[in-house]
């Protein structure tokens, strides 16, 4: 399954990026660029509910994004949480 990223803006100024599918290292740059552009808004939420797979490199990027101000990860499933815990910075 290919990666799909959808942007949802709400009336409170919060932007959510819904990530769906398999998240490989080849997709990392695209997500980082989107986050850099959108982080200027109030809050950026990255919804990981739809992730079916992620590799080590993509887990590292998510872990790094999670530590940035105004970025929050949502929809973490057990597999995704464990991958983030094991990812090295």
* pLDDT one-digit tens code per residue, 3-40: 999 999 888 878 999 999 999 999 989 999 998 888 77
pLDDT bin (cut points 50, 70, 90) of residue 43 is confident
Q: How many domains in the chain?
A: 1
Residue 46: domain span: 4-86
* pTM (two decimals): 0.88
Task: Tell me: pLDDT of 59 over 80.
Answer: yes
- Summarised one tens digit per residue, pLDDT across range 75-87 is 998 888 888 888 8
Helices and strands: H and E segment counts in the chain: 3, 4
Cα–Cα dist 52/47, whole Å: 13
Cα–Cα dist 8/43, whole Å: 12
Are 66 and 73 within 8 A, CB to CB?
A: yes
CATH code of 71's domain = 3.30.750.24
């Amino acid at each position: 399954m290919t990666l799909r990223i959808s942007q949802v803006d709400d009336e409170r100024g919060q932007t959510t990026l819904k990530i769906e599918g398999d998240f490989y290292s080849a997709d990392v740059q695209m997500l980082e660029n989107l986050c850099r552009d959108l982080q200027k808004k109030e809050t950026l939420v990255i919804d990981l509910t739809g992730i079916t797979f992620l590799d080590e490199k993509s887990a590292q990027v998510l872990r790094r994004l999670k530590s940035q101000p105004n970025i929050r990860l949502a929809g973490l499933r057990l597999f995704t949480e464990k991958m983030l815990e094991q990812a090295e910075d």
